[in-house]
């Protein structure tokens, strides 16, 4: 199949070269001819084999043949990814060496890509990287092209099921999974902890060593862990804007009480910001923390040989041990439907996320791949942080929540971890929070 | 004659404006009447051919603008568009087809610009009629020594650089104000009456007019929408903050300036330069650094806990028992206190500079004669220096006050991500205790795309600022108080 693709490519290339030789003029009939030729050869060649693949290759050949002007595209990748992405862009361009590209690479953090993309969708880049929790806003804002078809590899079957699910809104795939490492798990210091299976055990060991365990409980992204672990739900409604949440259902107060109890130990502490976690680990006060791969290097440096990572522990709810959940996080590549070259943008997005690129990304940047084949490789598996993520994957939610989830959930977390200072009735506390979480997005 | 002058004074300038137009149309000759349709006619007939051509060109340009720009946009202004964006990708050719969709925001913006141009053109047309009529009167005057000369085009252009130079100078800034301030303000006001939010974001979705329902929901305080509650709470803090921030920096600025100006201070120039260096560092850099210093695990906290300040504050009850740090920027009262303090630190150098200038200009004879009469330094300060400074700096205090109502940097940079509100009602409206109206507005637009409510808040901030400015300016500057100090 690959060879045939190459042949088609060459046919198209020749046709294109001839056109360029003609020096412009009336180009469209010639282009159609070459397309026709390519289609003929494909159908005669390969009538029996995989016809879908044949049409995909045709599509690429058609696109190459139909492209006469310079393809101008803008790509956004994170600041840290610039050098690596530029390398991929260069090899992408050399792969289609007969098309003139003018690709500009811009730096924009995946974490808040939506802020700039949605500010003016028509002026936004053609291809951009974003964290999957923004996918609903991006789809609602019309900033993502549906992945109606794939051409160079099958996005849905080659990537982890969770990552494909995370790129799907209302049953339609809108993005190309790039990494599968944006979730959180447990980092711990091996010299302090021998048993990290339950929070209770960990708190005992930590207080014996006069160390603390940190988690950003006053943050909806992290405190979801407790409620979901105890079987309560918060997820995006079908409208793609609002959140459905049942944290105030019967038994929810037990979870609230569990968080209050954790806070009262004095050993399990709330970190307001990511920086607080790193600072605490570096200065030696924190011996275990719930965080993600973005802090792996800093933590590894601080703990050296004692650096270890694992899935999240269990915690006690009304006397029972419950496994803490995680939001799993993926970084995605999206294509802007307002792009002048949607076709090329889709091919580029595929290129940036194919198995080879994901492996290269792991090697260059240590980012965990979403590609199944890449994730299975020994190098990936031997990375403690990524292995911990994989362990946690079973207990993680790859969907998202609506925009109104975050502030109320953060406040609820803060109130609980600081021991409910006003002494509000727990049920009332949960009712108020859920009311805010589920408030219709205006 | 006297009577007539009296009458003229009484007539409404607005009425006079249209009366002059009526006179021009009624008494104008054929060419002037023709100018109603062909604007250059009057000039051309009365010896100002180039001007006539130019005016006609402007008219043609306006007509073209109306047909190709104003009409298509204004036609959709009532609905803000009806055709939703649809794009189809052909998986076989990888080519996309996009329908001819409406973009509500572009329609709104273009319509407002078009309306603006139309109003401008009407004003231009009226003034054109009047000046053509004036020209006719001038032209028809019998030849005499007193008859005024009709300017040639060259003379007209030259006059723009001599007696009418103010027009030339003002045209650029006026254009800038219109483009940068006035049109955006109109757009903002218009958006407050639409449903422009996350669910209605152009270009993919349309938004439309919803009347005053956004204003209603701002003041409504039902159980589900806590917007009204959040608004009142934030408005209160915004005003308190503006008063505190303005007064503290003002007073400390003056004290600092006096200290440096004092004859007993050694090396006054060095001190002054040091404070000016503080201004030279971009404010956001200072603020971000300070924010990390005072973070829950920041350096100030670790010093405080090492030397026992944290324990002391805990025992006094200023820090709640379950914390092992001082919540400088993460609990409501501490954060508000710190914000005011940090603002003093950031804002005092500016006030010091201004106060230094004022202090240097206080006539020393007054103070000297007061001292001869036996006044103490303090009395001289209260009765001479302070009133003088207040008089000079009054207007700048008001601008400071308005600036502080909109002081985005200090609040946002110090508390964003660091402060989480413990009040569920505020959280449910995406607000925090330490938010000013303007930071709340920013997060509503930037994080939640709630443009319609942000516009409503924007209008209210504008009204508040306008009311304060007008009130205090008229009170402080009314009357001829300047005489008191001469």
| Residue-wise pLDDT tens digits, B310-369 | 888 888 888 877 777 888 888 889 999 999 999 998 888 888 888 888 888 887 888 888
In this complex, do A408 and B428 lie within 8 Å of one another by their Cβ atoms?
A: yes
In this complex, do B449 and A137 lie within 8 Å of one another by their Cβ atoms?
A: yes
The tokens for B384 are: 């001479």
Does position B61 have pLDDT exceeding 90, yes or no? Answer: yes
Give the residues across from A185 on adjacent strands.
A291
Nearest CA in chain B to A432: B424
**pLDDT tens digits along B122-147:** 999 999 998 888 888 888 887 776 77
Does position B6 have pLDDT exceeding 60, yes or no? Answer: no
Which of A5, A3, A1 has the alpha carbon at shortest distance from A61? A5
The pair phi, psi for residue A71, each rounded to 5°, is: -90, 110
The percentage of residues in chain B with a pLDDT greater than 90, rounded to a whole number, is 19
Classified as helix, coil or strand, A243 is: strand
Determine which of B94, B234, B416, B450 to mutate to test the interface with A (most A C-beta atoms within 10 Å).
B94
Q: Which of B141-145, B340-344, B408-412, B429-433 has the lowest mean pLDDT?
A: B141-145
Mean pLDDT (chain B, rounded): 84
CB-CB neighbors (< 8 A) of B456 in chain A: none
CA dihedral A42, A47, A48, A49 (to 10 degrees): 20
In this complex, do A59 and B94 lie within 8 Å of one another by their Cβ atoms?
A: yes
Q: How high is the pLDDT of residue B31? A: 85
Q: Smallest Cβ distance to B322: which of A122, A419, A439?
A: A419
Please identify among residues 295-324 of chain B the ones whose CB lies closer than 8 Å to any CB of chain A. 295-298, 302, 320, 322-324
Contact B327, B416 (CB under 8 A): no
Q: Smallest Cβ distance to B450: which of A148, A412, A442?
A: A442
Does position B112 have pLDDT exceeding 80, yes or no? Answer: yes
Nearest CA in chain B to A66: B93
Q: How high is the pLDDT of residue B9? A: 55
Q: How high is the pLDDT of residue A227? A: 94
The tokens for A177 are: 């999974």
The percentage of residues in chain B with a pLDDT greater than 70, rounded to a whole number, is 94
Q: Smallest Cβ distance to B421: which of A121, A411, A432?
A: A411
The whole-angstrom distance between B302's CA and the closest CA on chain A is: 10
Which domains are assigned to chain B?
A: 2-191 (no CATH), 219-294+329-485 (1.10.3720.10)
A1 contacts: CB under 8 Å, gap ≥ 6: A49, A50, A53, A57
The pair phi, psi for residue A290, each rounded to 5°, is: -90, 115
Give the Cα separation of A176 and A335 in Å (integer): 9
Does position B474 have pLDDT exceeding 80, yes or no? Answer: no
CB-CB neighbors (< 8 A) of B85 in chain A: 142
B141 contacts: CB under 8 Å, gap ≥ 6: B147, B148
Q: How far is CA B57 from the centre of its chain?
A: 35
Count Cβ atoms below 10 Å from residue B70 Cβ, excluding itself: 22
Average pLDDT over residues B175-188: 88
Does position B283 have pLDDT exceeding 50, yes or no? Answer: yes
Q: How far is CA B331 from the centre of its chain?
A: 32
Contact A435, A265 (CB under 8 A): no
Considering the four listed CATH numbers 3.30.505.10, 3.30.420.40, 3.40.190.10, 3.30.450.40, the one that applies to the domain covering A185-326+399-438 is 3.40.190.10
In this complex, do B95 and A263 lie within 8 Å of one another by their Cβ atoms?
A: no
Contact A289, A187 (CB under 8 A): yes
Which of A123, A162, A128 has the alpha carbon at shortest distance from A145? A128
Can you give the three-state secondary structure of B106-155, one letter per residue?
HHHHHHHHHHHHHHHHHHHHHHHHHHHHHHHHHHHCCCCCCCCCCCCHHH
Q: Does B197 touch chain A (CB under 8 A)?
A: yes
Q: How high is the pLDDT of residue A104? A: 93
Give the Cα separation of B320 and A423 in Å (integer): 14
Which of A157, A122, A155 has the alpha carbon at shortest distance from A141? A122
Q: Is the dihedral of CA A229, A234, A238, A241 positive or negative?
A: negative
Which of A187, A272, A258 has the alpha carbon at shortest distance from A225? A258
Q: Are strands A396-397 and A326-327 parallel, antiparallel or unpaired?
A: parallel
Which of B481, B468, B474 has the alpha carbon at shortest distance from B246? B468
Give how far Cα A204 sits from Cα of A201, A289, B109, Å.
Answer: 5, 15, 63
Give how far Cα A217 sits from Cα of A256, A365, A402, B421, B430, Å.
Answer: 12, 29, 19, 13, 18
Q: How high is the pLDDT of residue A51? A: 53
Q: Which of A149-163, A342-356, B225-239, B469-483 has the lowest mean pLDDT?
A: B469-483
**ipTM score above 0.85:** no
Q: How high is the pLDDT of residue B478? A: 55
Counting every residue written for chain B, the total comes to: 486
Please identify among residues 76-115 of chain B the ones whose CB lies closer than 8 Å to any CB of chain A. 85, 87, 89, 91-96
Confidence of residue B161 (pLDDT cuts 50, 70, 90): confident
Q: Smallest Cβ distance to A415: which of B96, B226, B422?
A: B422
Query: Which stretches of chain A score pLDDT less than 70?
Result: 1-54, 441-442
- Secondary structure element (H or E) that encloses residue A343, with its range: helix A342-353
The pair phi, psi for residue A359, each rounded to 5°, is: -65, -45
Residue with tokens 């840290």: A80
Give how far Cα A266 sits from Cα of A129, A162, A176, A271, Å.
Answer: 39, 36, 43, 13
**pLDDT tens digits along A260-307:** 999 999 899 988 888 889 988 998 889 999 999 888 889 999 999 999
Nearest CA in chain A to B446: A115
Measured in Å, how far apart are chain A's first and last C-alpha atoms? 51
- Secondary structure element (H or E) that encloses residue A158, with its range: helix A155-158
Determine which of A169, A280, A442 to mutate to test the interface with B (most B C-beta atoms within 10 Å).
A442
A271 contacts: CB under 8 Å, gap ≥ 6: A214, A215, A216, A277, A280, A289, B296, B297
Contact A417, A290 (CB under 8 A): no
Q: How high is the pLDDT of residue A13? A: 41
Contact B43, B132 (CB under 8 A): yes
Give the Cα separation of A86 and B150 in Å (integer): 68
In this complex, do A272 and B447 lie within 8 Å of one another by their Cβ atoms?
A: no
Classified as helix, coil or strand, A333 is: strand
The tokens for A301 are: 């440096």
Contact A351, A92 (CB under 8 A): yes
Contact A368, A293 (CB under 8 A): yes
Contact A336, A117 (CB under 8 A): yes
Q: Are strands A314-317 and A101-107 parallel, antiparallel or unpaired?
A: unpaired
Q: Does A435 touch chain B (CB under 8 A)?
A: yes
Residue with tokens 């100090």: B485
Q: Does B414 touch chain A (CB under 8 A)?
A: no
Q: Does B228 touch chain A (CB under 8 A)?
A: no
Please identify among residues 256-315 of chain A the ones whose CB lies closer than 8 Å to any CB of chain B. 263-264, 266, 269, 271-273, 275-276, 279-280, 283
């Amino acid at each position: 199949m690959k060879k045939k693709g190459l042949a088609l490519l060459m046919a198209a290339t020749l046709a294109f070269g001839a056109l360029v030789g003609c020096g412009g003029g009336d180009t469209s009939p010639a282009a159609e001819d070459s397309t026709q030729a390519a289609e003929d050869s494909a159908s005669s060649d390969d009538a029996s084999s995989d016809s879908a693949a044949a049409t995909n290759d045709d599509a690429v050949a058609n696109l190459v043949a139909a492209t006469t002007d310079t393809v101008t595209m803008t790509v956004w990748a994170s600041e840290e990814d610039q050098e690596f992405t530029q390398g991929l862009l260069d090899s992408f361009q050399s792969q289609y060496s007969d098309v003139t590209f003018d690709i500009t690479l811009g730096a924009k953090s995946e974490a808040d890509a939506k802020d700039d993309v949605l500010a003016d969708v028509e002026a936004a880049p053609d291809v951009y990287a974003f964290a999957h929790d923004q996918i609903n806003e991006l789809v609602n804002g019309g900033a993502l092209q549906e992945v109606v078809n794939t051409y160079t590899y099958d996005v849905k079957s080659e990537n982890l099921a969770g990552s494909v699910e995370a790129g799907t809104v209302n049953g339609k795939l809108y993005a190309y999974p790039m990494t599968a490492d944006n979730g959180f798990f447990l980092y711990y210091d091996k010299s302090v902890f021998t048993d990290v299976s339950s929070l209770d055990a960990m708190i005992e060991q930590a207080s014996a060593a006069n160390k603390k365990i940190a988690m950003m409980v006053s943050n909806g992204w992290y405190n979801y862990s407790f409620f979901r672990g105890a079987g309560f739900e918060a997820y995006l409604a079908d409208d793609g804007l609002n959140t459905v949440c049942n944290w105030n259902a019967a038994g929810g107060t037990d979870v609230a009480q569990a968080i209050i109890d954790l806070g009262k130990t004095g050993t399990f502490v709330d970190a307001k910001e990511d920086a607080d976690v790193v600072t605490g680990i570096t200065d030696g006060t924190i011996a275990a923390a719930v965080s993600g791969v973005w802090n792996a290097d800093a933590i590894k440096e601080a703990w050296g040989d004692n650096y270890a990572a694992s899935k999240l522990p269990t915690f006690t709810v009304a006397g029972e041990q419950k496994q803490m959940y995680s939001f799993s996080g993926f970084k995605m590549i999206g294509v802007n439907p307002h792009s002048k070259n949607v076709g090329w943008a889709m091919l580029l997005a595929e290129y940036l996320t194919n198995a080879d690129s994901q492996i290269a990304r792991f090697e260059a940047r240590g980012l965990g791949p979403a590609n199944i084949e890449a994730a299975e490789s020994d190098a990936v598996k031997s990375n403690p942080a990524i292995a911990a993520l994989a362990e946690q994957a079973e207990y993680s939610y790859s969907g998202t929540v609506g925009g109104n989830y975050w502030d109320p959930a953060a406040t609820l977390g803060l109130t609980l971890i600081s021991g409910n200072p006003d002494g509000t009735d727990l049920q009332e506390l949960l009712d108020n929070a859920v009311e805010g979480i589920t408030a219709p997005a205006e | 004659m006297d009577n007539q002058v009296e009458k003229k004074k009484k007539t409404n300038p607005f009425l006079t404006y249209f009366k002059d137009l009526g006179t021009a149309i009624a008494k104008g000759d054929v060419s002037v009447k023709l100018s109603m349709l062909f604007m250059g006619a009057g000039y051309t007939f009365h010896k100002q051919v180039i001007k006539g051509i130019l005016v006609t060109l402007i008219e043609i340009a306006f007509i073209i603008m109306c047909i190709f720009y104003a009409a298509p946009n204004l036609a959709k202004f009532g609905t803000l568009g009806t055709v939703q964006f649809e794009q189809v990708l052909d998986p076989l050719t990888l080519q996309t087809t996009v329908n001819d969709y409406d973009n509500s925001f572009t329609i709104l913006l273009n319509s407002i610009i078009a309306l603006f141009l139309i109003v401008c053109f009407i004003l231009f047309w009226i003034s054109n009629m009047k000046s053509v009529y004036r020209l006719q009167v001038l032209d028809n005057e019998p030849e005499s020594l007193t008859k005024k000369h009709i300017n040639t085009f060259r003379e007209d252009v030259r006059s723009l650089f001599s007696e009418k130079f103010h027009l030339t100078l003002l045209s650029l800034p006026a254009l800038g104000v219109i483009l940068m301030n006035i049109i955006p303000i109109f757009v903002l006001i218009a958006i407050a009456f639409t449903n422009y939010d996350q669910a209605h974001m152009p270009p993919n979705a349309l938004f439309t007019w919803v009347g005053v329902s956004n204003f209603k929901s701002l003041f409504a305080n039902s159980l589900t929408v806590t917007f009204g509650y959040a608004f009142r709470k934030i408005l209160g803090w915004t005003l308190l903050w503006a008063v505190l921030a303005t007064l503290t920096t003002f007073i400390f600025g003056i004290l600092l300036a006096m200290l440096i100006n004092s004859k007993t201070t050694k090396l006054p120039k060095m001190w002054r330069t040091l404070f000016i260096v503080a201004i030279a560092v971009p404010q956001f850099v200072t603020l971000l650094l300070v924010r990390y210093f005072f973070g829950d695990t920041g350096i100030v906290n670790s010093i405080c806990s090492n030397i026992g300040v944290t324990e002391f504050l805990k025992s006094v009850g200023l820090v709640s028992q379950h914390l092992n740090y001082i919540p400088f920027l993460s609990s409501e009262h501490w954060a508000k206190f710190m914000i005011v303090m940090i603002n003093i630190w950031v804002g005092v150098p500016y006030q010091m500079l201004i106060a230094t200038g004022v202090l240097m200009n206080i006539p020393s004879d007054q103070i000297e004669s007061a001292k001869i009469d036996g006044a103490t330094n303090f009395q001289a300060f209260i009765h001479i220096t302070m009133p003088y400074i207040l008089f000079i700096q009054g207007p700048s205090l008001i601008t400071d006050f308005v600036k502080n109502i909109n002081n985005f940097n200090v609040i946002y940079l110090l508390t964003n991500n660091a402060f989480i509100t413990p009040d569920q009602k505020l959280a449910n409206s995406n607000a925090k205790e330490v938010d000013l109206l303007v930071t709340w507005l920013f997060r509503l637009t930037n994080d939640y795309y709630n443009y319609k409510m942000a516009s409503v808040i924007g209008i209210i901030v504008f009204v508040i600022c306008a009311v304060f400015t007008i009130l205090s300016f008229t009170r402080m500057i009314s009357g001829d108080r300047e005489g008191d100090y001469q």
